Structure 1
């Protein structure tokens, strides 16, 4: 790859650096704003209560069985029933991702109840009777004063409910022999993370508080929402998750909570008060930090290979701070001070090494009440801190590990921490292991997926379910809509390589984000929520087209990320047959590539096996798969449909060729390789590769290569 120019480096440095965190600076400090979106309804109707969740204590007894019941009522009939005083119950929507244990959350409030008896029932689609489900810790819960959010753990594996099946759940809550309150949700379906992510084609982002109108907009039009939990109550998050019809799981919304993994947001405000930071035990721990590049020969550029053998925890300096803080800017460029944690000058948070074990511990246990920042357990579970119970995480500040070549001493925001790429991958793998049923979305970090760059050795593919390509075309600047050179680099360089990685067997779904700012930002922002049918600015429509035709799920918003809308979803492209792209790095920065590389590119014989290689294709309906046609003896007749020519049809895997990664000439290097199955030894074939999109549309190239299979 051509070396980065200083202009490009400066742009990358400015643009990649946590742009989506701007609302943290401009939003009001709101602590769990009151939700006001739905009325409280008693008994068998749905109701919405508004209070943060806290811990749950459940008795060890478990008297549930898996025997079918013949009546729809799940309650044990007492001698006499009485209503729970002012009893209110809401059953919240379950997660979409399949797991052996499924948390079941509900809101409950009663002036008379001292303890609760909870029963969960399940009925598969097509069956007539409910079956009593197994609750891991029994169905007895203690009522706590002021507490409204509760949860039980359904042992789905024990009850034999298969992944992919559709079923209805019904929850009943009774107390002291009183008549139970009952709620139900239909069309519940648990699927793999891959299946869930590939169904997302509409999303929203809101970094601010949520009005009733915004909640309704998102519940009606979105399938996924990115939120800052500090600006919401637990009930608001659960209301958003429940979708338009809270009793129907088919329209549920996946909610991802914001978390910063490459910068410590707890340190906001300490940049100019280092002594106060040093007196806070959260920021000192064993005093072995800050840490620096541990590679032999460091600092950059004299350090060892990024993919070499070194400790992801870094090299300690023993200057009295926590070991996950960093001091490489000083060591490398003499920017800052020796032994002092380094801060992002634009956002005021200290850079961290995501791979240090102590940072994972800190991320786990942060709560908004004590840290003004929510951590993993508070965001993902119902029983810790505020218990937001989100469906997953929006992982920001992954760019801390950007290549050292992106900045130098003259840069506004110096970041010489490329060695932390190794630990960043380890962190995400640890989060994945601890929360296997949660969805992870990584913001940018495009260098992890670019085979030209050393960080490709630590690709986050396999650890994330989504990647966000922020500012693909429309940036947040107001003096111009977009910079053509930056856009060309995004479209013809980074996006090509990113989307090739997305479609692998352990890949991800790519979301894109544009900003309705620019020279006429007022009109553009108004168009996002204009229901009058007035013509939208052409540049917004072009932004949707440019992203959709590559197969990225697009969203448009304002610079503050607070306008909840469905403009991009309302202007989606109809699926069309794939078109070919190219992962060959453009010879000139900011210019288009030489042209697409369609169809089969290379065939090789290794021993007795035949291998084929090819490049990436694009369609608004991703993921893309690839099919090989092998015709014996004679070449293909372009005048006849390929299906009528007696060719073998072979599905191809999307493996990585050994020569794909690394710097240098990419002319003969391709992202995909597959061993060809089903060819007969000693026979000769003409081979054609065609791309197929997610709705079954094929492109129609005729490029063929010839091979004789060894005997």
Structure 2
């Protein structure tokens, strides 16, 4: 296993966060520049001496245990161009006995939140960061003793302010003000300036390039599994943030903490997600441990959790990694007693498919130097000539089979600003990262390419990846007309996929209006609407005394909860089903009611008839509706005001609609459409919230 303190997560996927080289004084948090799937990486807990350091200088990024090396060894490796990171545990205390501190611990999660375990016998008080709330198979038990890792013996901790002081202050050889911790290097000693490059005293500062933060998984949001404490997630995030802010020029490599990168993993017992305390803004990389090959002694087969790793956790982690504050992904697999065929398969899955930085350790103890991946990279690995492959971040729960890939563009939404659309897509994989996503557009003005578009997290993805998409970008200043868009993934070598998945959208002239928080009195008098933007006037163009529906002008307005509608009619309103509005709430002409001939300019999800709202339940061209509710209303002669909760329409961001005055309701076969050219020019109105 990668951690000296690992015991509990052989039943669940494990992640490790990593960082990379920063020879310059400062560097930006994010994916590591100059690091790709050809970079050579090792985690090594064995002794660093004059012999082993010459083997380690074959690698680009090295993780070592400060206790097993000297400052001059770190200097040697750095002078060979190697980035060297020092081990430190932040979720467990490896001391032989618990520190007394101020006697405010151990703690558990009680009725009042995090509090000291009650009724402690004399002599049981400890520092405030020790935990006493171990899951024993039936309850979270507090037995007055600090909880320990049953395999490696470390005390589980909540990394609060007191613990942050300890891990920053402790030193090999001891530190003033901190007794009982003389065998562990703290943050300040790990990255503090060396006395000289020839210093052999491990009691002095080492001058590492950064940190390997272990045991973050203490705070994983996994319920009722020994060794996990979801309620410590916020303090874990604060600790990683503290390290970033205290040592801004140093690299952070944080080991494990899978649920911090998966928005679907939640603790039901404590009503929280570790994802809500994201570590991504403070780190440079993530290491996925045992992704393909687990660490069991003598293991000969693929990790049984691999399907879940590949189809569930990895795509979500890659969505996080590709963000503006993303990271580089590293991987650690284990050789044990496995055949070279399985080792080659691990390389295929991690390096060639995912573009990760891979290391295969000989054994779980990490005390020997493995060269299988090193030899592969130093040989003649196949050139990457393949385009990225699309994946899906929509798998939920523990999965054993793949879900359909989300290829190319998945969704279009018209934005609140005129001429604005938001495009959404998911994740892709490739050997040659970082990936870029190119958007293509055809429509008014010809064809346009938006290369390497800047994107953000897709709306709703951080809440429910199963029903949302990882990435989105907004394009603006588009003229009215019908546009077709598609998205393609391109790797760092210029290999681009050629998918043909396209989506279309029609933007109206003026791209809609909005009237937010207008002061309106619902009394049938339209004078308070006069200052608001309307949808324009319609001529009194329906002749005949029996034709009672003849639209003249209409408005919409909204507040946080309601949609308001007003219109004027040429003649007194005698409400019945002939006063019709067809409402498109998802801006998708292919969904909802398209008319019995399939020629509507919009897809209609809802219809207003008179003052009744109906939801469409048919298949597109058949007449099938369910009653939703009655609209609030006030009218006088030919002036009408209506209102309804926005939630009845699903809280859309945009409405496309048109009016149909169907005088068949009064016995006359005359329609008054507003706008007039609904069918002749595919026109409709747009309202934005």
Q: Is the 8 A contact 1:218 1:565 kept in 2?
A: no
For 2:449 and 2:12, how far apart are their aligned partners in 1? 48
Tell me how far apart the structure 2 counterparts of residues 439 and 481 of structure 1 sit (CA, whole Å).
35
Q: 1:451 aligned to 2:263?
A: yes
- 2:288 and 2:332 in contact (8 A); partners too: yes
Deviation at 1:417, TM superposition (A): 1.0
Residues 684 and 570 from structure 1, CA distance in 2 versus in 1: closer, same or farther, beyond 3 angstroms?
farther
Larger Cα-atom Rg: 2
- Deviations 1:647-695, CA, capped at 9 Å, x for gaps: 33254333123311336xx553111122124x42313211011112223
Instruction: Tell me if the contact between 1:394 and 1:441 (Cα under 8 Å) persists in the aligned partners.
Output: yes
State the 1:543 CA deviation.
0.7
CA distance in 2, matches of 1:563, 1:683: 65
Query: Which sections of structure 2, spanning at least 5 residues, go unmatched?
Result: 1-6, 175-181, 196-202, 266-272, 512-689
Structure-2 residue corresponding to 1:216 = 54
Q: In the TM superposition, what is the alpha-carbon distance from 1:701 to its structure 2 partner?
A: 1.0
Distance 1:404 1:193, change over 3 A: closer
C-alpha distance in 1 between matches for 2:257 and 2:288: 9
Aligned pair 1:620/2:456, yes or no?
A: no
Q: 2:316 aligns with which of 480, 497, 508?
A: 497
Displacement after TM superposition at 1:18 (Å): 10
- C-alpha distance in structure 2 between counterparts of 1:364 and 1:484, whole Å: 36
Matched, 1:96 2:19: no
Aligned twin of 2:333:
514
Residue 460 of structure 2 aligns with which residue? 659
Shift of 1:334: 4.9
Structure 2 counterpart of 1:289: 105
Report the equivalent of 2:306.
Answer: 487
Match of 2:116 in 1: 316
Q: Tell me whether 1:629 sits opposite 2:440 in the alignment.
A: yes
- Corresponding position of 2:89: 260
Match of 1:462 in 2: 281
1:400 to 218, 222, 235: 218
Residues 133, 141 of structure 2: 8 Å contact kept:
no
694, 698, 702: which is aligned to 2:496? 698
List runs of 5+ in structure 1 lacking aligned partners.
1-9, 21-93, 101-190, 244-251, 271-276, 278-282, 299-313, 408-413, 525-536, 635-644
* Cα distance in 2 for residues equivalent to 1:605 and 1:395: 43
Q: What are the residue-to-residue correspondences of 1:580-619 with 2, within 5 Å?
A: 580-585=390-395, 589-608=398-417, 609-619=420-430
Kindly indicate whether residue 150 of structure 2 is the aligned counterpart of residue 352 of structure 1.
Answer: no
| Structure 2 residue matching 1:405: 3-state secondary structure | coil
Contact 2:14 2:288 in 1 (8 A): no
TM-score normalised by L of structure 1: 0.61
- Give me the whole-angstrom Cα distance separating, in 2, the residues matched to 1:266 and 1:654: 45
TM-score, with length taken from structure 2? 0.63
Counterparts of 1:205 and 1:654, CA distance in 2: 34
Q: How does 1:311-390 map to 2 (within 5 A)?
A: 314-317=114-117, 319=120, 320-329=125-134, 333-334=138-139, 337-354=142-159, 356-370=160-174, 371-382=182-193, 385-390=203-208
Q: Does 1:547 align with 2:383?
A: no
2:468 to 666, 669, 679: 669
Distance in structure 1 (CA, Å) of the matches to 2:455 and 2:292 = 28
SS at match of 1:561: coil
- CA distance in 1: counterparts of 2:12 and 2:259, whole angstroms: 13
Show CA shifts across 1:429-470 (max 9, x none): 111001001001111211111121221111211111111111
C-alpha contact 1:328 1:416 (8 A) present in aligned 2 = no
Residues 197 and 465 in structure 1, CA contact (< 8 A), matched pair in contact too: no
CA shift in 2, pair 1:210/1:545, >3 Å: same
Secondary structure of the equivalent of 2:450? strand
Q: Residue 422 of structure 1 aligns to a residue in which SS? A: helix
Distance 1:241 1:459, change over 3 A: same
- Give CA deviations for 1:544-585 in whole Å, capped at 9, x if unaligned: 111111111100112221332442144355333211111011
Of 339, 360, 367 in structure 2, the residue corresponding to residue 562 of structure 1 is 367
Contact 2:30-2:324 at 8 Å conserved across structures: no
- Distance (Å, rounded) in 2 between the aligned partners of 1:382 and 1:264: 25
Q: Give yes or no for contact 2:16–2:253 (8 Å, CA) kept in 1.
A: no
Cα distance in structure 2, aligned partners of 1:553 and 1:406: 33
Residue 709 of structure 1, aligned match among 467, 483, 507: 507
The CA distance in 1 between the partners of 2:505 and 2:422, in whole Å, is 10
Distance in 1 separating the partners of 2:341 and 2:64:
29
Aligned residues: 464
d(CA) in 2 for partners of 1:550, 1:95: 21
Distance 1:383 1:692 in 2: 43
SS in 1 for 2:42: strand
Who is 2:540 aligned against? none
Aligned to 2:647: none
What is the Cα deviation at residue 336 of structure 1? 5.7
| Alignment deviations for residues 354-388 of structure 1 (CA, whole Å, 9 cap, x no partner) | 2x101110001111113211100010112694211
Q: CA deviation at 1:475?
A: 1.1
Higher share of residues assigned helix: 1
CA distance 1:17–1:317, change in 2 (3 Å): farther
Aligned residues: CA RMSD: 2.8
Equivalent runs, 1:228-239 vs 2, <5 Å: 228-239=65-76
3-state DSSP class of the match of 1:647?
Answer: strand
Q: Secondary structure at the match of 2:282?
A: coil
